[in-house]
Amino acid sequence: MKNFIYYFGLCMVLSLLLPVQAQKFDNLAKTPQMGWNSWNTFSVNINEQLIKEMADIFVNLGLNSVGYEYILLDDGWMDMQRDKDGNLVPHPDKFPNGIKAVADYVHSKGLKLGLYNCAGTKTCAGYPGSRGHEYQDALKYAEWGVDYLKYDWCNTGELNPKEAYITMRDALYAAGRPILFSICEWGDNQPWQWAQDVGHSWRISGDITACFDCIEHHEEGDWNSWGVMKILNMRDNNMLRKSAGIGHWNDMDMMEVGNGTLTFHENQSHFALWAMLNSPLVLGNDLRTMSSDVLGIITNKDIIALNQDTLGLQGFKYTTLGTIEIWAKPLSNGAWAFCFLNHSENLAELNFDWNNVTIKDELFGYEVIFNKNNVFKIKDLFVGKNIGNTKTPLKAILGKNQVLVVRVDK
């Protein structure tokens, strides 16, 4: 009971200070966050040994050397009940040494630890949510050494989403430890209109599923999971682009690269599109058993560089030629990236003549002009080689759902 009184009193004091200082933490997510999340592969079946193995394999595979830094525990890490003082309790069988021990281990590898919770009374899997315990939970996260919070939206009743996320933002700030705040509200309440000052990223869709272009309906809850292309086309991209930028990103959800029915080319396309759109690059596969092909995709430094480019502009669809979509992205230092996606069941021939083409980013005022007096080098980013320049047409044969991703610069 004494602990409860202490936490309650501390939370009240902190809350009184909030009108003059509450905000999200600066200097986080200056580029989209990169990491691994447990949900897509393991659901609630997570434990201390698994997380330690993931931290080990992170380093052994060199994922940290290309930018990945967060190990994220999704739903199911906590016990089914809070303790007598109202504190969250790590599941005693899954995490017998507690979350701080896991955080310490992850930190010893040079990585950061993230946790999951929910704005409602219960999480989506039925564990204790944070409603009514926001400041208490934030203090506990800080005590444990947590670096990232994914905050879901199940069992929220009539809660106002903006205010609910502001409450947790303020609680995290009051607790004093810089924690990246990932809003997982599924885009139902247009977070791109209000979340820039609340979180570091916000989901724009429901959950992803491991297919390229499908919808998976869940009868038990009357909700859907979405394939890669369904998420890509779910919202107006220009509307989303207006809200995103340094420190606040549209989140297309964790990636399914290496999972389900995705082919090699679809894995490449999935990864490239998320990079072009500046979505957080959060892996969702089993790192211990993935193929060398998948490892090559997720560690491609040239593709990652598009996502982590310091200009911080989300890509846009420039045009469509037959079955080939052309996505463009302005980059720092006057460079541009282009993603040519053959979204079809059949082979498609790309013959893109750069000559006398002007591409404009109408929202942000960037423009690139290609002509005989303004020639750019072209680099194929998945091959990792220069393939000529813009004096001659770009030609390729693209298979089903295959991309050609190039960077053009002087």
Rounded to 5°, angle at Cα 277 from 273 and 278 = 120
Strand partners, 378: 408
**How would you class 21 by CB atoms within 10 Å of its CB: exposed for 0-12, middle for 13-18, buried for 19 or more?**
exposed
Question: Into which CATH architecture does domain 2-307 fall?
Answer: Alpha-Beta Barrel (3.20)
Determine contact, residues 40/254, Cβ cutoff 8 Å: yes
User: What pairing do the DSSP bridges indicate for beta strands 377-380 and 385-389?
Assistant: antiparallel
Distance (Å, rounded) from C-alpha 209 to C-alpha 225? 6
Residue 272 has pLDDT above 90, yes or no: yes
Determine contact, residues 87/136, Cβ cutoff 8 Å: yes
Catalytic residue among 74, 207, 309, 361: 207
Angle of helix 2-21 relative to helix 134-144, nearest 10 degrees, comes to: 100
Query: What does the pLDDT look like over 209-262, one tens digit per residue?
Result: 999 999 999 887 788 999 999 999 999 999 999 999 999 999 999 999 999 999
Strand partners, 223: 218
Residue 134 has pLDDT above 80, yes or no: yes
Asked about 361 being catalytic, the answer comes back as: no
Residue whose token pair is 């659901």: 43
pLDDT at 111: 98
Q: How many helices (H) and strands (E) does the chain have?
A: 11, 20
Question: Into which CATH architecture does domain 316-409 fall?
Answer: Sandwich (2.60)
Q: What do you get for the CA distance between the two ends of the chain, in Å?
A: 67
Asked about 286 being catalytic, the answer comes back as: no
Query: What does the pLDDT look like over 328-359, one tens digit per residue?
Result: 999 999 999 999 999 999 999 999 999 999 99
Name which of 367, 375, 361, 359 is nearest 334 in CA terms.
367
Determine contact, residues 334/261, Cβ cutoff 8 Å: no
Within 10 angstroms of residue 245's Cβ, the number of other Cβ atoms is 16
141, containing H or E segment: helix 134-144
How do the domains of the chain map onto residue ranges?
2-307, 316-409
Query: What does the pLDDT look like over 387-405, one tens digit per residue?
Result: 999 999 999 999 999 999 9
Query: What does the pLDDT look like over 140-159, one tens digit per residue?
Result: 999 999 999 999 999 999 99
Name which of 137, 122, 99 is nearest 10 in CA terms.
137
Distance (Å, rounded) from C-alpha 306 to C-alpha 366? 16
Q: What is the mean pLDDT of residues 260-270?
A: 97
Determine contact, residues 38/74, Cβ cutoff 8 Å: yes
Catalytic residue among 75, 147, 152, 251: 152
Determine contact, residues 75/117, Cβ cutoff 8 Å: no
